């Protein structure tokens, strides 16, 4: 018996806080009722909006309704949603019958516009109940004063009610009173009571989210108030539904109005992901869980009977301490109710807008629109069939490490990215408050020091979204070239520059050297902020030097999967981006990639299957063709794909920023993937090259693309049989460079190479990686790009370009662990006129860069890779 079944045995009903069409048609809800004792389901405008926005669940139903004359988005919504409600009610009907009407309910929410309209709520709720015509459907009514009056009337009319958005024990008492009064009216009218059911949805985690923000850091009250509040509500439940008044109703067949614990997904990653289930177990209660919480509890939940009745004295003490802090819980509850209503109202408007957009024929198409997959089509289709049979998507969402490897090492503790769209909204207020204070203190510029996963997502946000009015202008430094550092320093007004030091491990040598350099220039800890994992050396350094703030990221998120974590979102907040919208786009894509969305309708699963099968078929050069406004996204995707898949002698070679050429420029090792609206691919598709197009609404959908590609890359790792979350070869070049510095072996320079031999060795399926250890100026970049195209067009091989040492934290893993098909050409300065000392270090930036050149060359040669070293001028002479 799994923990969910044990929870059911303990007297608590398990409902799922989720509803969409494929959840029903895939059989997932039926499976959950059989295997996990799920006995109910709830829905709301947010859930429906996400399903409509990015997934293809409702594109065909919308098309069909339009063909039958429907045009109004609200009318279309109700027709689709009520069809889902009826279907879900049918799935749960056996539970309803077996429990004699105690369980098996589906909840449908009234529109937020009715929240303060008692007559309107009663009228619409009665109409919906009659129209749906299922005995196991509840109508959700918000816990406003007008909604509570509606509860009494609806109960008297025999309508099942789920009264929602409850945060206050006092409000809950009013709700229970309204239910009792409604039953009494019904009894007085001689009507039966037995088939009337109701739940009171007490929202839990949102209380902690609100209260924690009012408490000082480190307060023992953080994370304690929500559970204490729910326990007090349960005590009131026991009191209200006992005694003479209740006994009279019970004898007539009345059912108690069960407390329902809602919002039980853990928002704060510092708390257990099952705490709002484990601590509120008791008879005659319901816990409605998001699927992520359901998975977590099935995996490691602990069932201790009657925890809702435990430690009641401690719960009372929590409220005494809360009052001592001057926090009025009733005021907080009123604010949460207003925020909840406003959020649902906004979601409803966005839902209607999404439907309106899909009504237009031009928008009635799938998430993925492959132009021509050619010979890959059968293998991709088979892979998707295998994924359905093996429940690959479901296992990924359940965080099952065996999707990739039997050993959980560096997998089980690297899957936190799956939940970021749901957990990170908890921190948006914190990030925005920080930015407001930074601006108020006179900072107009920001400098981010980071490498790889710490710098690439911020660079995408900055270059794609720009700086909004009132935002802070952000520059990213991820080069150790002395001229690059000096140029950044010259361009900054250091006195008004906030320095963001970003490193997951907290030990990234380049980042720490940058930090030491700029800290020596300012000497002011209040100008610095750190982003890192808990307990890292950077956290200790930041606290020792008195940094303005230290932002700790969830430790179960790998660097290259951190775009939707603090590593990406704090820089995004600094430039004035709408962080909430970024996360919501990510949540919509996560919804589209969910476990029960099969085959080509699952954008992440489909793309990952395509990438992996293409590589297995010899088309391992994933060539990204990006719309102009999304071009900077390529460098981030390059690291994600290369570092995740390039190991164990296999891998995908991402090719980005390579100007589109004619059919004759390419060998048979290419897969072309276009992101956004781009031209020039028709001839390639006609020539037999597999071409796929991904629909992107615009730059504002960055959050969706970050998640899509993360999920796809995880799937591609599964297809290739590798762990996409480790980086076993990355440390090789780093160790070699540090050894060279320690031993002062910089004079062991092997000199420059003649390029004729290496270039002449290129054959079918090879690629050329230009590894530039020169100043990454636009002029140098343009020169290197011209060289790339010349090599491609002459040799018909793929080319990549990376500046060192940045690429060591990106494609470096692929170079050493991936297929032995690369020619690695290091491009170095002819002379070094400028160097910069690093305070407190026995080496300079110039020496660090030189050691990194030699260290990477040594690591590549030890692995038998083809390596050549030259200057930019000599490379031009050999290729142009």
Task: Verify that 20 and 157 share a domain, yes or no.
Answer: yes
> Quick check: helix, strand or coil at residue 219?
coil
What gap in Å lies between CA 863 and CA 880, rounded to an integer? 30
Which of 134, 140, 267, 621 is an active site residue? 140
Task: Verify that 641 and 661 share a domain, yes or no.
Answer: yes
168: Cα within 13 Å, side-chain hemisphere: 20
> Quick check: helix, strand or coil at residue 11?
coil
Residue 865 token pair: 């890779």
CA 44 to chain centre: 21
Answer yes or no: are the C-beta atoms of 295 and 399 closer than 8 Å.
yes
What gap in Å lies between CA 785 and CA 157, rounded to an integer? 74
Domain's final residue, options 300, 329, 344: 344
Flag whether 409 is in a domain. no
Spatial strand order of the sheet with 621-626 comes to 653-655, 621-626, 670-675, 691-694
Question: pLDDT tens-digit profile of 539-597?
Answer: 999 999 999 999 999 999 999 999 999 999 999 999 999 999 999 999 999 999 998 88
Flag whether 304 is in a domain. yes
Q: Which residues pair with 670 in a beta bridge?
A: 621
Give the DSSP per-residue string, 81-147. HHHHHHHHHHHHHHHHHHTTTSS-EEEEEPPGGGTT-HHHHHHHHHHHHHHH--TTEEEEEE-SHHH
Helix residue ranges, H only, 603-701: 603-616, 633-645, 682-686
| Confidence (pTM) | 0.90
Flag whether 410 is in a domain. no
Answer yes or no: are the C-beta atoms of 21 and 58 closer than 8 Å.
yes
Flag whether 349 is in a domain. no
Question: pLDDT tens-digit profile of 76-91?
Answer: 999 999 999 999 999 9
**Domain region containing 707:** 376-398+595-720
Task: Verify that 160 and 281 share a domain, yes or no.
Answer: yes
Question: pLDDT tens-digit profile of 649-678?
Answer: 999 999 999 999 999 999 999 999 999 888
Flag whether 268 is in a domain. yes
Statement: residue 369 has pLDDT above 70: no
Task: Verify that 337 and 382 share a domain, yes or no.
Answer: no
Task: Verify that 575 and 651 share a domain, yes or no.
Answer: no
- pLDDT classification of 779: cutoffs 50, 70, 90: very high
Residue 298 token pair: 């099935």
Question: pLDDT tens-digit profile of 346-356?
Answer: 989 988 988 88
> Quick check: helix, strand or coil at residue 198?
strand
Reading phi first (left if > 0) and then psi (alpha if -120 to 50, else beta), residue 844 is in beta
What gap in Å lies between CA 877 and CA 755, rounded to an integer? 10
Task: Verify that 157 and 296 share a domain, yes or no.
Answer: yes
Q: In terms of residues, how long is the chain?
A: 880
Task: Verify that 710 and 756 share a domain, yes or no.
Answer: no
Statement: residue 697 has pLDDT above 90: no
Answer yes or no: are the C-beta atoms of 514 and 477 closer than 8 Å.
yes
Question: pLDDT tens-digit profile of 789-838?
Answer: 999 999 999 999 999 999 999 999 999 999 999 999 999 998 777 899 99
Domain's final residue, options 672, 702, 720: 720
Statement: residue 622 has pLDDT above 60: yes
Task: Verify that 774 and 709 share a domain, yes or no.
Answer: no
- Span 238-256, average pLDDT: 96
What gap in Å lies between CA 264 and CA 273, rounded to an integer? 9
Mean pLDDT for all residues in the chain: 93
Q: State the CB neighbour count (10 A cutoff) for residue 631.
A: 18
CA angle 313, 314, 317 (to 5 degrees): 90
Q: How many DSSP H helices and E strands does the chain contain?
A: 36, 21
What gap in Å lies between CA 701 and CA 181, rounded to an integer? 49
- Span 336-365, average pLDDT: 81
Answer yes or no: are the C-beta atoms of 151 and 179 closer than 8 Å.
yes
Query: Among 485-494, 603-612, 745-754, where is mean pLDDT lowest?
Result: 745-754
Q: Rounding to the nearest 10 degrees, give the CA dihedral for residues 276, 282, 288, 291.
A: 60
- pLDDT classification of 213: cutoffs 50, 70, 90: confident
Give the DSSP per-residue string, 272-322. -TTHHHHTT--TTEEEEE-HHHHHHHHHH----TTGGGS-HHHHHHHHHHH
State residue 151's pLDDT score. 97
State residue 614's pLDDT score. 98
C-alpha distances out from residue 128 to 85, 124, 701, Å: 11, 6, 35
C-alpha distances out from residue 855 to 508, 649, 739, 741, Å: 16, 21, 8, 10
State residue 45's pLDDT score. 82
- Span 271-277, average pLDDT: 93
Flag whether 393 is in a domain. yes
Task: Verify that 264 and 150 share a domain, yes or no.
Answer: yes
CATH code of the domain containing 498: 3.40.50.10490
- Span 840-845, average pLDDT: 94
Answer yes or no: are the C-beta atoms of 641 and 716 closer than 8 Å.
yes
Task: Verify that 545 and 603 share a domain, yes or no.
Answer: no
Smallest CA-to-CA distance from 564 within 582, 578, 576 is with 582
State residue 371's pLDDT score. 58
Spatial strand order of the sheet with 866-871 comes to 798-803, 767-773, 822-828, 866-871
Q: Which residues pair with 261 in a beta bridge?
A: 202, 287
Residue 355 token pair: 């439907």
- Span 226-231, average pLDDT: 95
Task: Verify that 575 and 621 share a domain, yes or no.
Answer: no
Bond preceding residue 558 cis, omega within 30 of 0: no
Structure-token match 């925005």, residue found: 432
What gap in Å lies between CA 57 and CA 585, rounded to an integer? 17
What gap in Å lies between CA 689 and CA 619, rounded to an integer? 9
| Domains contained in the chain, number | 4
Smallest CA-to-CA distance from 636 within 453, 418, 789 is with 453
Q: What is the H or E stretch that residue 329 is in?
A: helix 329-359
Task: Verify that 491 and 615 share a domain, yes or no.
Answer: no
762: Cα within 13 Å, side-chain hemisphere: 25
What gap in Å lies between CA 42 and CA 137, rounded to an integer? 10
State residue 367's pLDDT score. 41
Strands 798-803 and 822-828: unpaired
Flag whether 756 is in a domain. yes
CATH code of the domain containing 215: 3.20.20.70
State residue 363's pLDDT score. 39
Flag whether 191 is in a domain. yes
State residue 742's pLDDT score. 83
Answer yes or no: are the C-beta atoms of 776 and 481 closer than 8 Å.
yes
C-alpha distances out from residue 575 to 37, 377, 432, 459, 711, Å: 47, 42, 11, 11, 27
Question: pLDDT tens-digit profile of 510-545?
Answer: 999 999 999 999 989 999 999 999 999 999 999 999
State residue 248's pLDDT score. 96
What gap in Å lies between CA 617 and CA 614, rounded to an integer? 5
Concerning whether 735 is annotated as a catalytic residue, the answer is no
Domain's final residue, options 324, 344, 364: 344
- pLDDT classification of 365: cutoffs 50, 70, 90: very low
């Amino acid at each position: 018996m799994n923990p969910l079944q044990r929870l059911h045995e303990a007297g608590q009903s398990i409902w799922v806080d989720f509803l969409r069409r494929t959840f029903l048609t895939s059989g997932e809800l039926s499976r959950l009722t059989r295997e996990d004792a799920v006995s109910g389901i709830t829905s709301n405008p947010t859930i429906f909006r996400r399903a409509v926005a990015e997934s293809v669940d409702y594109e065909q139903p919308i098309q069909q309704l339009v063909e039958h004359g429907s045009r109004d988005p609200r009318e279309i919504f109700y027709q689709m949603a009520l069809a889902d409600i009826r279907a879900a009610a049918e799935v749960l009907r056996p539970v309803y019958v077996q429990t004699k009407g105690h369980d098996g309910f589906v909840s449908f929410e009234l529109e937020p516009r009715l929240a303060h309209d008692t007559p309107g709520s009663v009228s619409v709720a009665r109409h919906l109940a009659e129209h749906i015509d299922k005995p196991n459907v509840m109508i959700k009514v918000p816990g406003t004063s007008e909604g509570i009056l509606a509860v009494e009337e609806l109960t008297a009319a025999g309508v099942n009610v789920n009264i929602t958005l409850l945060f206050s024990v006092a409000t809950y008492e009013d709700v229970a009173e309204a239910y009792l009064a409604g039953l009494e009216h019904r009894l007085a009218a001689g009507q039966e009571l037995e088939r009337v059911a109701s739940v009171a949805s007490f929202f839990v985690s949102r209380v902690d989210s609100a209260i924690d923000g009012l408490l000082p850091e480190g307060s023992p009250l953080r994370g304690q108030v929500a559970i204490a509040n729910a326990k007090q509500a349960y005590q009131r439940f026991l009191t209200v539904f006992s005694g003479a008044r209740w006994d009279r109703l019970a004898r007539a067949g009345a059912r108690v109005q069960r407390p329902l614990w809602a919002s039980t997904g853990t928002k704060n990653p510092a708390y257990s992901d099952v705490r709002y289930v484990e601590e509120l177990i008791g008879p005659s209660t319901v816990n409605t869980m998001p699927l992520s919480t359901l998975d977590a509890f099935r995996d490691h939940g602990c069932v201790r009977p009657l925890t809702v009745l435990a430690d009641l004295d401690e719960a009372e003490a929590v409220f005494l301490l809360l009052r001592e802090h001057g926090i009025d819980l009733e005021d907080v509850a009123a604010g949460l109710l207003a925020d909840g209503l406003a959020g649902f109202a906004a979601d409803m408007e966005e839902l209607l807008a999404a439907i309106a957009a899909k009504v237009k024929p031009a928008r009635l198409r799938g998430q993925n629109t492959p132009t021509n997959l050619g010979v890959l089509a059968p293998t991709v289709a088979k892979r998707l069939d295998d994924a359905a049979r093996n429940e690959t998507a479901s296992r990924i969402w359940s965080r099952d490490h065996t999707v990739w490897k039997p050993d959980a090492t560096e997998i089980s503790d690297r899957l936190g990215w799956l939940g970021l769209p749901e957990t990170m909204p908890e921190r948006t207020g914190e990030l925005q408050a920080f930015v407001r204070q930074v601006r108020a203190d006179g900072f107009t510029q920001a400098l981010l020091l980071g490498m790889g996963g710490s710098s690439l997502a911020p660079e995408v946000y900055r270059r794609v979204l720009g700086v909004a009015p009132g935002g802070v202008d952000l520059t990213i430094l991820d080069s150790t070239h002395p001229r690059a550092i000096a140029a950044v320093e010259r361009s900054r007004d250091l006195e008004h520059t906030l320095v963001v030091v970003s490193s997951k491990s907290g030990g990234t040598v380049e980042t720490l050297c940058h930090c030491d350099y700029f800290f020596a220039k300012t000497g002011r800890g209040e100008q610095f902020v750190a982003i890192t994992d808990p307990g890292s050396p950077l956290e200790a350094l930041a606290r020792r030097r008195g940094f303005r703030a230290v932002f700790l990221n969830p430790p179960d998120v790998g660097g290259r999967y951190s775009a939707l974590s603090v590593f990406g979102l704090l820089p995004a907040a600094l430039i004035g981006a709408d962080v909430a919208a970024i996360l919501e786009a990510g949540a919509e894509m996560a919804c589209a990639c969910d476990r029960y969305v099969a085959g080509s309708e699952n954008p992440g699963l489909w793309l990952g299957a395509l990438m992996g099968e293409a590589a297995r078929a010899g088309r391992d050069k994933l060539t990204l063709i990006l719309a102009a406004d999304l071009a900077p996204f390529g460098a981030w995707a390059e690291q994600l794909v290369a570092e995740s898949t390039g190991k164990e002698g296999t891998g995908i070679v991402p090719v980005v920023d390579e100007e589109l050429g004619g059919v004759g420029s390419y060998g048979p090792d290419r897969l072309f993937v276009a992101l956004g609206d781009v031209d020039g691919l028709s001839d390639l598709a006609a020539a037999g090259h597999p071409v796929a197009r991904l629909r992107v609404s615009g730059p504002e959908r960055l959050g969706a693309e970050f998640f899509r590609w993360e999920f796809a890359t995880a799937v591609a790792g599964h297809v290739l049989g590798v762990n996409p979350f480790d980086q076993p070869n990355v440390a090789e070049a780093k160790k070699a460079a540090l050894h060279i510095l320690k031993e002062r072996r910089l004079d062991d320079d092997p000199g420059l190479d003649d390029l004729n031999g290496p270039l002449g060795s290129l054959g079918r399926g090879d690629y050329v990686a230009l590894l530039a250890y020169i100043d990454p100026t636009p002029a140098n970049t343009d020169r290197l790009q011209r060289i790339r195209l010349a090599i491609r067009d002459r040799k018909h091989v793929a080319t990549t370009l990376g500046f060192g040492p940045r690429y060591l934290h990106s494609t470096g893993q692929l170079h050493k662990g991936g297929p032995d098909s690369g020619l690695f050409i290091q491009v170095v300065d002819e002379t070094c006129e400028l160097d910069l000392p690093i305070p407190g270090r026995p080496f300079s930036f110039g020496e660090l860069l030189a050691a990194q050149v030699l260290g990477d060359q040594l690591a590549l040669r030890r692995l038998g890779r083809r390596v050549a070293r030259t200057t930019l001028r000599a490379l031009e002479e050999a290729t142009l």
